[in-house]
Structure 1
Amino acid sequence: MACRISELVIEAADPELLAAFWSGVLGYVELGREEDGSIEIGPPGVGFGGLRPTLILSPNSEPRAGKPRLHIDVNATDRDQDAELERLLALGAKPADVGQTGEESWHVLADPEGNEFCLLRARLQPL
């Protein structure tokens, strides 16, 4: 038997800000809140346990130390990469420099708290 990813937890100085940002990026909705200030977002009408993992934005006021060892890659589902890049920038993403050459087929971006993610070129079918 194998496992599959059901949730990704992102520690955030401002869970509200990141929940709004990632909901806009992924087309997710708020699924719930915990007393500790965590916010879970996921696919509308499906929630936890579906084919796509939910995200939990968990409060953490400690400054981030060093480069994260994990980042998220995203692909557009209904537009080309250039149009999706413009949409993500309008949502609050910022270009990030991690040493790329400029010849890559992907764009490196950062969410409003500086967490890097990549926008890949291929368009995927929505789930």
Structure 2
Amino acid sequence: MACRISELVLDAEDPGRLAAFWCGVLGYVELGREDDGSIEIGPPGVGFGGAQPTLVLSPHRGSGRGKLPLHIDVSATDRDQDAELARLLALGAVRADIGQSGRESWHVLADPEGNEFCLLRRRLDPLETV
């Protein structure tokens, strides 16, 4: 039996702000808050342990801006890449310049705290929720 990714943890200066951003990006909902200020978000009606990993936004003070050792790649499920790019930018994402040539099939963006993530070209089928 192999392991599965159950959750991804992102350090955040403002967990509430990042939770709202990533809920908007992924269609997730808030699942819970811990005493330390961490906020867990995940698929509605499924939560922890489902087919998609949850995200935990953990309070952290410090300069963690820029390229994370782990970053998130997202793919649109119900629109083309250009339409999804427009939606992400409207949610508060910004374009990030990491030396792209302009010929890449993906867009490099940053969330409201500057954490880089990529919008891939390939569309994915949405996962069924339980």
Normalised to the residue count of structure 1, the TM-score between the two structures is: 0.97
Unmatched tracts of structure 1, length 5 or more: none
- Alpha-carbon shift at residue 67 of structure 1 (Å): 3.4
Letter in 1 for 2:51: L
- Alpha-carbon shift at residue 69 of structure 1 (Å): 1.6
- Alpha-carbon shift at residue 70 of structure 1 (Å): 1.4
CA distance in 2, matches of 1:35, 1:51: 27
Asked if 1 retains the 8 angstrom alpha-carbon contact of 2:66 and 2:115, the reply is no
Unmatched tracts of structure 2, length 5 or more: none
Aligned residues: 127
Partner of 2:25: 25
Partner of 2:106: 106
Tell whether 2:124 aligns with 1:119. Answer: no
- Alpha-carbon shift at residue 28 of structure 1 (Å): 0.1
Identity of aligned residues (%): 79
Secondary structure at 2:89's aligned position in 1?
A: helix
In angstroms, what is the RMSD of aligned CA positions? 1.0
Asked if 1 retains the 8 angstrom alpha-carbon contact of 2:109 and 2:117, the reply is yes
Partner of 1:64: 64
Secondary structure at 1:105's aligned position in 2?
A: coil
Partner of 1:44: 44
Partner of 1:78: 78
Partner of 1:13: 13
Asked if 1 retains the 8 angstrom alpha-carbon contact of 2:30 and 2:41, the reply is yes
**Shift >4 Å, 4+ stretches:** none
Letter in 2 for 1:62: G
